[in-house]
Structure 1
Amino acid sequence: MSAAGESGNRAQQMREKAQKLTEAAERTTDPQERQKLQEQARGLQEQSKQQGQPGQSRSKGTAGGGRNQ
């Protein structure tokens, strides 16, 4: 499998895990546990967005030499 394919697969797995965490957060009655699960889900969603962008830098605004003008 290509690096882009592996990255896309990893991103998909992260999205699926984030969805499961979100669903678990909706089911729990403990407010602290709900918040913890929601934060974990958000973190995975952000990571999956970064993983799902092959060939792009993780830092934004650095195209064209790495300096913001």
Structure 2
Amino acid sequence: MSIADEPGNRINQMRAKAQELEQAAERATDPHDRQRLRDKARRLKEQSEQERGMAGGNTDPM
């Protein structure tokens, strides 16, 4: 497994992308684009939190 494939690195990349999307939403002038970017950032954050929980062993397999 390479460093780029490690779960922590993937989670950090997802968080960074979410931050970029939030910044783009702040700059967007079109309300629909702004909302779309915010929604996408929120989904990425949620996904990174789920993966962080799975990587940390915080999930019950049953």
- What is the TM-score with the length of structure 2 in the denominator? 0.80
Q: CA deviation at 1:30?
A: 0.2
Matching of residues 1-69 of structure 1 within 5 Å? 1=1, 6-53=6-53, 54=55, 55-57=57-59, 63=60, 66=62
Larger relative helix fraction: 2
Partner of 1:60: none
Q: CA deviation at 1:25?
A: 0.1
Q: Which contiguous aligned blocks of 4+ residues in structure 1 show a shift greater than 2 angstroms?
A: none
User: How much identity, in percent, do the aligned residues show?
Assistant: 53
For 1:32, give the aligned amino acid: H
Structure 1 residues not aligned, in runs of 5+: 58-62
Quote the Cα distance in structure 1 between the aligned partners of 2:6 and 2:51: 9
Pairwise CA RMSD of aligned residues? 2.0
Structure 2 residues not aligned, in runs of 5+: none
- What is the TM-score with the length of structure 1 in the denominator? 0.73
Q: Deviations over 1:26-69 (max 9, x none)?
A: 00100000000000000000011111122232xxxxx4x84xxx
The structure having more radius of gyration, on CA atoms, is 1
Q: Deviations over 1:5-38 (max 9, x none)?
A: 8111111000000000000000010000000000
Quote the Cα distance in structure 2 between the aligned partners of 1:32 and 1:21: 14
